[in-house]
Structure 1
Amino acid sequence: MLDYGAKKDTSALSTDAFNKAIDACHKNGGGKVVVPAGMYRSGTIYLKSNVNLHFEHGATLYASTDARDFPGASKTFYGSYQDFYGWYALIFAEGASNIAVTGYGVIDGNGSRQYRNAKMFPRGVRDGRPRNLLFIGCNNVTVEGITLTHAGFWNQHYYNCEDVMVNNIKVYNHGRKNNDGLDIDACRRFVLSNSIIDADDDAIVIKSSDTAVSKDITITNCVISSFANAIKCGTESTGGFQNISISNCVIKPSRSHSQPAFNTPRYGITGISLEMVDGGIMNGVSINNIVIEGTDCPLYVRLATRNRKHTPDAPPPPVSRMMNVQLSNILAYNTGNYSSSITGVPGARIRNIYLSNIRIFNRGGVQPGAYIPTLDKVKESENGYPQPTVWGNLPCYGLLVRHVEDIDIVNCTFKSEQPDPRPAVIAGDVDNLVVDGLQTDKANSRKALVMQEVKRSRVR
């Protein structure tokens, strides 16, 4: 890097040096571009095929805070509402193969200092703030060992990529709105492992923002914190999700002492969210061995009909479908009082969902009048943004199930740390409900489980 003019001084801009070194490595058949110890400042760095950008111990890359240093990529082959105002990133690659960002250094997006001229960039979610990493249409991608902090927008966005390995990274993304930790968007064969992620917005998100399916994805052995949703599929679901495995993860409160950007709860909104609202099919999801400390809502599974088009000229998406979902061996404690929920909407049921060995202990202490009194008072909210804040405290303290077909609830426990007047579980408009080994605070089984419009049930 130093041979190409990079300066270990953040008062100097090293964008050209980074890009010249990568270009030379690429033209010579590929290899490793080494960033030695020091502090560097740069605009957009373009990673090319067969190049590993490697950060040595003590190397820190800071994003420039000048909008002119991030020219943005031209419109890509992969279209979605995300590129409405263009793509901006500190490290960017499109259509590249065999690329890597590795090492022991830090990539700091300078997020709290990122800005955009209102005359040049419209305000809002997609106002041109740069991600730390943005890889579009790439294959054979490795990101390992590094620390990524304070992006101007999402920390990392992998969009329509294949064969991606992200391992042993640390993410701390606080300082601006929309500070997701890591977004896996319309990707195939993606492994995220052994990482620590702490985000102001959603921490780990699987999306499908265009017609490509997010498929064959594994997330394992991670420690996750979020002021919003810790692990989330959605909301964008156009291409759908298939074969998703999430296991051996700890969800805990954020260590950030800053005020959440969206005034969300400091413990987070949800631990696990599965959301199908913009078309597409979710088929084959297994979530196993999860510990959740805090969050207002441990489990949120939602099928609805927002049906947002992924591009302005796209046809309206069909109603989503969700099936074959398994949630097992989940312990959640000190959770809020929203309660968990598994809900479709009239005419669109979730099918074949299995819950086993789930233990949820909410804080309780809810007073009469501080929760929705009955199931019929819970708004369908078919077209709204899918989030449990839409409802607040539901009429049960453990689990609400509505518009579902074929659901098993086996060896599950729902209890409150403080007295809670609500029943533990409510099921409404359910076809084929199996409840086996339910443990609650309610001695009277009629208060433990309330069923309305349930066809075919077996309770033991």
Structure 2
Amino acid sequence: MQQNTLCYHPVIHFIILALLFPLTNVHADTNPMVYYVQDYGAKGDGKSLDTKSIQNAIDACHHAGGGVVQLNSGTFMSGTIFLKSGVRLHIEKGATLLGSTNAQDYPDIGAQDPTKEERYNAGKALIYSEGQHHISVSGQGVIDGNGAALANLNQVRAHIIHFKACHDIKINDVSLVNGSWWIQKYDTCNNLQIDGITVNSKENSDMNKPRYADTPGRNTDGCNIVDSRNVQLSNCHIFSGDDGIVLKSFSKDLGCHNVTISNCIISTNASGIKIGTESAGKFHDVLVNNCIVYDTRLGGIELMVVDGGSMERIVVTNISLNNILGAAIYVRLGNRGREYTHNKMPSVGSVKDILIQNIYGTKIGRYGSSITGIPSAPLKNITLENIDLTFTGGNAPLYFEGYPTKPVEERTIDNVPEEEKSYPRCDIFGKLPAYGFYIRHVEGIDLRNLKLRFEEEDTRSAIVADDVSNFVLDGLKAQISPHAPAVIQGRNMQTAAIVNCISLTPAKSFLHASGNKTQQIVLSSNIWKNLGTHLSTDNSFPISEIHEKK
């Protein structure tokens, strides 16, 4: 009998060896040179200014081809330090890099504009880097911006970290605390990884007080990603005095794309997860997944274009919201038209191809969530599915940011302002006519499997849709007050299907339809048992435009 033999093949042999003995990067330095800042004269006593010593260590490390600059136990007070290619700034557990309170220790930084042959004032920072590569900040220690003292004593604000036009960046494990401005700013960067960091800089953290009851705000955004690409931000805890995690664009030639934000916990004095506000360029291919937003004063999830840019292929999924005083979800296309770096006045932008799914929220505030374009520029192809929100409800007056002298105007479907040129905030319209979702100027929107409830009776409709076409509402389960106009109010709806919906409590009407542009509305497989009437109209359109099917 012939015995089977295994023939040698070089490719198979290589694969077997690779599985048994995983390859390592032959170019990686597994034992990098460590430069201790104390060896360069740093005192680490929290009183002496160690800027020069830390910078000398960074310069030596850089000139030697790279390595680690390390801060061991102690508090190292410093002004601006400049991180350079190949250098990892490592802050050991028990060590603190402390920002100086002397304004003279933070020079104004001239940065190169990537779209023009000019430099401009990029502001101030504790750690700054421009045009560098393979840079890192790591360790389980603390970087303390000394923000309260710096801002109060000198009226000076500085980023804790500001990287400009850098690539191959890693920020991991460190705690960034007590900032005086945006905590982190990564501008026109590529290949950025931020993992496992903590931001703790939430001044005025008592949500039961007005926003600036105890101290002026310092705009301490937790993390700002500006005109950057190939970004991974994960496993972070952001506790910030202004917006939590924000993507921005200041250049019509750039934007943010290929960005993932995952497994983060966020609490802020403004908005939780936000894409936009500054929105000159293009946001595309962004995934936000598995995050918690809690104790947040404005919106939980906000997507917006108002400066001529565009937004598409954005996925927000698996988000838990709790105690959001503003809106759970805010999607906005406006026309503020802000001019950046001598650009011409931008044209109106666009927002399309947005998926928001698997959102669960409790203690959501009373403004109402909104999904709105403007008459000349509707949103397109928006999908919300598996949304379960419980609102605080109630009909008592609402006050702007908690100030008792600033009542918020209560709107009806007939008097919601366009606010086309306004700064985009989830509260710009006032208290909306829907406690759940207000939708206006949208072409193509699918709402599937929505559950909307309130803790205290709210006499508004669950959903209001105005100037909306190609509208699908499938599987709404909504609590409603018997004093509300209807479960759903629709004005100038065109080509709409409302199916498989249930009113969880008795209501006057299921759908109140109005507007002379209303046409081709289909109602099918809805349950009417809790309703006084399933349909009411203002007779502004032929009733034959509404088709009811069992």
TM-score by length of 2: 0.77
Q: Hey, what's the Cα distance between the residues in 1 that align with 2:114 and 2:198?
A: 28
Q: Given that residues 240 and 279 in structure 1 are in contact (C-alpha distance below 8 angstroms), is that contact kept between their aligned partners in structure 2?
A: no
Give the Å deviation of 1:92: 0.3
Which residue does 2:322 correspond to in 1?
293
Alpha-carbon displacement from aligned partner over 1:171-194 (angstroms, at most 9, x marks no partner) = 012345211000011000000000
- Which of 207, 221, 224 is equivalent to 1:183? 224
Q: Does 1:459 align with 2:498?
A: yes
SS of residue paired to 1:305: coil
The reply on whether 1:22 has 2:58 as its aligned counterpart is yes
The residue type paired with residue 457 of structure 1 is A
Aligned: 1:213 with 2:251: no
Distance in 1 between residues matched to 2:180 and 2:115, nearest whole Å: 22
Deviations 1:92-141 (A, max 9, x none): 000000000001100000000114998xxxxxxxx852100000000000
Assess if the C-alpha contact under 8 Å between 2:458 and 2:481 holds in 1. no
How far 1:402 moved relative to its partner?
A: 0.1
**1:368–1:145 CA distance, 2 compared to 1 (3 A):** closer
Find the residue that maps to 1:294 and give its secondary structure: strand
Question: How much does 1:148 deviate?
Answer: 0.2
The 2-side partners of 1:185 and 1:54 are apart by 25
Structure 2 CA distance for aligned equivalents of residues 418 and 443 of structure 1: 10
Bigger shift: residues 68-77 or 419-428: 68-77
Equivalent position of 1:151 in the other structure: 179
Q: Please tell me the residue identity of whatever aligns with 2:241.
A: D
Corresponding position of 2:47: 11
Amino acid at match of 1:297: A
1:371 is displaced (CA, Å) by 5.9
The 5-angstrom pairing of residues 196-275 of structure 1 reads 196-211=237-252, 212-253=254-295, 267-275=296-304
Q: Deviations over 1:303-330 (max 9, x none)?
A: 000010112x211111110000000000
Instruction: Count residues with an aligned counterpart.
Output: 436
Structure 1 residues 435 and 95, CA gap change in structure 2 (3 angstroms): same
Matches within 5 A, 1:67-78: 67-78=103-114
Which structure 1 segments of 5+ residues have no match? 119-126, 254-266
Stretch of structure 1 that moved more, 232-241 or 372-381? 372-381
Cα distance in 2 for residues equivalent to 1:174 and 1:458:
44
Structure with larger RCO (C-alpha < 8 A, sep 6+): 1
What SS does structure 2 have at the residue aligned with 1:71? coil
State the Cα deviation string for residues 167-222 of structure 1 (Å, max 9, x = none).
00000123452110000110000000001000110011110112312000000000
Q: 2:308 aligns with which of 279, 283, 297?
A: 279
Indicate yes or no: 2:96 matched with 1:60.
yes
Aligned residue for 2:410? 372
Instruction: Give the partner amino acid of 1:363.
Output: T
DSSP 3-state at the match of 1:376 = coil
CA gap of 1:378–1:84, structure 2 versus 1, over 3 A, is farther
- Of 370, 378, 384, which aligns to 1:349? 378
The residue aligned with 1:46 is 82
Distance between the aligned counterparts of 1:199 and 1:57, measured in 2? 22
Q: Is the 8 A contact 2:85 2:135 kept in 1?
A: yes
- CA separation of 1:288 and 1:431: change in aligned 2, threshold 3 A: same
Q: Gaps spanning 5+ residues in structure 2: where?
A: 1-36, 204-216, 399-407, 500-550
Mapped to 2, the partners of 1:130 and 1:163 lie a distance apart of 24
Q: Please tell me the residue identity of whatever aligns with 1:190.
A: V
- Corresponding position: 1:111 with 2:141: no
Mapped to 2, the partners of 1:245 and 1:377 lie a distance apart of 35
Residue 165 of structure 1 aligns with which residue?
193
Distance 1:2 1:416 in 2: 59
Residue type of the alignment partner of 1:251: V
- State the SS of the aligned residue for 2:273: strand
The 3-state SS of whatever aligns with 2:272 is: strand
d(CA) in 2 for partners of 1:242 and 1:382?
23
Please name the residue that 2:364 is paired with: 335
Q: Is the 8 A contact 1:86 1:128 kept in 2?
A: no
Contact in 2 for aligned 1:155/1:182 (Cα 8 Å): yes
Q: Return the alpha-carbon distance in structure 1 between the equivalents of residues 396 and 149 of structure 2.
A: 43
CA contact (8 A) 2:50 2:78 kept: yes
Distance in 1 (alpha carbons) for counterparts of 2:481 and 2:271:
33
Deviations 1:31-80 (A, max 9, x none): 11111111110000100001000011101011001111111211323379
Q: Does 1:310 align with 2:340?
A: yes
Identity of paired residues, percent?
A: 38
- Cα separation, 2, equivalents of 1:451 and 1:97: 54
- RMSD of aligned Cα (Å): 1.9
Identify the match of residue 235 of structure 2 among 190, 194, 202: 194
Larger mean CA deviation between 359-368 and 194-203 belongs to 359-368
Alpha-carbon distance change, 99 to 14 in structure 1, aligned in 2, over 3 angstroms: same
Match in the other structure for 2:445 = 407
Q: In 1, distance between residues paired with 2:98 and 2:467?
A: 53
Q: Note the 1:63-142 alignment, pairs <5 A.
A: 63-78=99-114, 85-115=121-151, 129-142=157-170
Q: Distance in 1 between matches of 2:108 and 2:447?
A: 49
Alignment partners' CA distance in 2, 1:165 and 1:214? 14
Distance 2:397 2:233 in 1: 43
Aligned residues of 2:411 and 2:430 also touching (Cα < 8 A): no
Change (3 A) 1:104 1:306: same
What TM-score do the two structures reach when normalised by structure 1?
0.91
Output the CA distance in 2 between the equivalents of 1:23 and 1:157: 23
1:448 match = 487
Q: CA offset at residue 418 of structure 1?
A: 1.1
SS at match of 1:292: strand
> Which amino acid in 2 is paired with 1:154?
W
- The 2-side partners of 1:392 and 1:96 are apart by 45
Alpha-carbon shift at residue 145 of structure 1 (Å):
0.5
Partner residue in 2 for 1:261: none
* Match in the other structure for 1:324: 353
- Residues of 2 paired with 1:78 and 1:235: CA distance? 21
Distance change in 2, residues 1:63/1:79 (3 Å) = farther
Q: What is the CA–CA distance in structure 2 between the aligned matches of 1:440 and 1:6, rounded to whole Å?
A: 63
How far is 1:287 from its partner?
0.2
